[in-house]
Structure 1
Amino acid sequence: MPELPEVETTRRGIATVIQGKNVRQFLVHEPRLRWPVPASLPQCLVDQTVLDCTRRGKYLLLHFEKGVQIIHLGMSGSLRRVALEEERRKHDHAEWIFDEARFLLHDPRRFGAILWHAHQDGPLENHPLLRTLGIEPFDPLFTPAYLFRHLQGRRMAIKQALLGGKIVVGVGNIYASESLFLAGIHPELPAGEVSLHRCEKLHAAILSTLQAALDSGGSTLRDYVNASGEPGAYFAIHANVYERVDKACPRCQQPIKRIVQGQRATYYCSRCQRR
């Protein structure tokens, strides 16, 4: 699914176009997404100005005077800019129309979401989808000490702790495998057994891995397209271990192994990432 780098790349692409602009029309062609699109939302957004475009975890947040539109791209969704007269494609379920720009939400599996949080409902961070999210990885408060402190006492595997998103957001399946490889940590090691020294390595690996993905424009999906409708550079071409089972480890030449954790594939080097 689109992870933090894809969502952040999309946010950057649309923010420069829509921030400060008025929504002329918000059209919903298929309201049956992961949760039903609120029926009142199209009327609510008419002539409303986009005050800001931010992101929290994998959620895009469009800020308006009356509230915040919460957008999730689902398993394989995208939000792309198209010409004002361009025909919709199959699975284009919603569109935002401005004076000189038009964006379409494409979501073949309909696992995405378009929701609304009115300011009168309280602080945005208390929304049920956002309140349990961990810290942002590029937040200055996310430090090796923070990571170490929040791993203490956890018996689950370190990879599962990273994927959970309650300690730090954005470390999806690909990025978790890559970060653990760079840090030399076995993916099945209990999270509470990761030392402070190894947390320092893991912290650095998480930041460098996510930054590399951001630099490539978002890349966890082969069919991912950015806000301009252009395909992302698939991250596997940069990967050390992900989807490289039986290929040589770039460090020691040992064949890369694959296991399944929580129904997700994990790739690692048994020599470089010993228990």
Structure 2
Amino acid sequence: MPELPEVETVRRGLQPAMEGARLARLELRRADLRFPLPHGLSEALEGRTITSVGRRAKYLTMHFDGGAVLISHLGMSGSYRIEDGQDALTPGAFHHERSKLSTHDHIVFHLVDRDGTTRRVTYNDPRRFGFVDLDRAETLAENQYLRGLGLEPTGNALDGDRLAVMLAGKAAPLKAALLDQRLIAGLGNIYVCEALWRARLSPRRKARTLVTRAGRPTPRCHSLADAVRDVIADAIAAGGSSLRDYVHTDGSLGYFQHSFAVYGREGEPCRHDGCTAPIRRIVQSGRSTFYCPACQR
């Protein structure tokens, strides 16, 4: 499933194509994806202008004038394709190559710019694990998919002090705590492994050990907060963690996968200076964890 940097890359690709455009027609080619499409979806959005394309955790949010908000989750195989004249672009970089077969095109946004230019933005999803929901700007925070989500791991909001509050008293392994979406929203398996390696922290360590008895962050807690923010920022800048070469809308390639320090590198030497211990793979809560047992403590 795409992680936060992949979804943010999609958002940035869709933004110039959709913001400011009027939705002339919303073409629904089936009645459901993972769940049934919201009742009255076309009627609520057609004729409205898209004021912004946002993101919350791994959800895309398309805001329309009048207050309607379309929420979109890509699931396992969902993607958006921008068609402008003869060009067709698929923003985002993914683990698996995205489909371009029209048989998997399920929702088509027929857009008109202020200058009359027309384009189509098509949602394609072979497995149909993605879904959409309809809400209002004033109730968005209480949406069934968005309420309860924790802090975004981007920007400066996530620091050692905030992380200490999240981890205090928790006996769960550090990796499990970081994957709790109620604490940090959108942080997934790949980037937790990478952040823990950068901070030299074992994924098995109890989360509460990063907090003093007085509830203050330890130096390791500050280091981990910095590592989480940095690894997410680096992945977004590189276009996500696709394990395939992917050409973005500006022609650049997403190559963050070549910078993985631990993820998928079982048996290979650790990349920390002075450490050549082999990377180990273990399973935690049904997910693969990659780490260096020599320098992650």
Normalising by structure 2, we get a TM-score of 0.84
Equivalence for 1:160? 176
Equivalent residues in 2 for 1:83-232 (5 A)? 83=84, 89-99=102-112, 100-119=118-137, 122-195=138-211, 196-220=218-242, 222=244, 228=249
Do residues 48 (structure 1) and 55 (structure 2) align? no
Q: Distance in 2 between matches of 1:265 and 1:225?
A: 28
2:174/2:207 contact within 8 Å kept: yes
1:174/1:220 contact within 8 Å kept: no
Q: Distance in 2 between matches of 1:84 and 1:48?
A: 22
Question: 1:199, CA displacement in angstroms?
Answer: 1.1
Question: 1:202, CA displacement in angstroms?
Answer: 0.6
Q: Distance in 2 between matches of 1:244 and 1:168?
A: 25
> Residue type of the partner of 1:202?
L
Q: Could you give the per-residue CA deviations for residues 194-237 of structure 1, whole angstroms, max 9, x where no partner exists?
A: 242111111111111111111111224548776x4989625331
- Residue 240 of structure 1 is aligned with which of 251, 261, 266? 261
2:4/2:186 contact within 8 Å kept: yes
1:82/1:102 contact within 8 Å kept: yes
2:261/2:270 contact within 8 Å kept: yes
Question: 1:169, CA displacement in angstroms?
Answer: 1.8
Question: 1:15, CA displacement in angstroms?
Answer: 1.2
Cα separation, partners in 2 of 1:230 and 1:159, compared to 1, 3 Å: farther
Please state whether the residue corresponding to 1:98 is helix, strand or coil: strand
1:81/1:229 contact within 8 Å kept: no
> Residue type of the partner of 2:143?
H
Root-mean-square deviation (Å): 2.2
Q: Distance in 2 between matches of 1:234 and 1:165?
A: 26
1:218/1:232 contact within 8 Å kept: no
Cα separation, partners in 2 of 1:98 and 1:48, compared to 1, 3 Å: same
Question: 1:39, CA displacement in angstroms?
Answer: 3.6
Question: 1:48, CA displacement in angstroms?
Answer: 0.7
Q: How many residues align?
A: 271
Do residues 272 (structure 1) and 290 (structure 2) align? no
Q: Distance in 1 between matches of 2:109 and 2:70?
A: 12
Equivalence for 1:258? 281
Cα separation, partners in 2 of 1:83 and 1:52, compared to 1, 3 Å: closer
Cα separation, partners in 2 of 1:201 and 1:263, compared to 1, 3 Å: same
Fraction of identical pairs, as percent: 38
Equivalence for 1:81? 82
1:135/1:168 contact within 8 Å kept: yes
Question: 1:30, CA displacement in angstroms?
Answer: 3.0
Question: 1:23, CA displacement in angstroms?
Answer: 0.4
Cα separation, partners in 2 of 1:48 and 1:221, compared to 1, 3 Å: farther
Equivalence for 1:29? 29
Mark the runs of 5 or more structure 2 residues left unpaired by the alignment. Answer: 89-99, 113-117, 212-217
Which range moves more in the overlay, 174-183 or 146-155?
A: 146-155
Cα separation, partners in 2 of 1:9 and 1:170, compared to 1, 3 Å: same
Question: 1:83, CA displacement in angstroms?
Answer: 3.9
Cα separation, partners in 2 of 1:131 and 1:225, compared to 1, 3 Å: farther
Cα separation, partners in 2 of 1:88 and 1:271, compared to 1, 3 Å: closer
2:154/2:232 contact within 8 Å kept: no
Mark the runs of 5 or more structure 1 residues left unpaired by the alignment. Answer: none
Please state whether the residue corresponding to 1:23 is helix, strand or coil: strand
Please state whether the residue corresponding to 1:104 is helix, strand or coil: strand
> Residue type of the partner of 2:121?
F
Normalising by structure 1, we get a TM-score of 0.91
> Residue type of the partner of 1:192?
R
Cα separation, partners in 2 of 1:31 and 1:224, compared to 1, 3 Å: farther
> Residue type of the partner of 2:107?
A
> Residue type of the partner of 1:114?
V
Equivalence for 1:6? 6
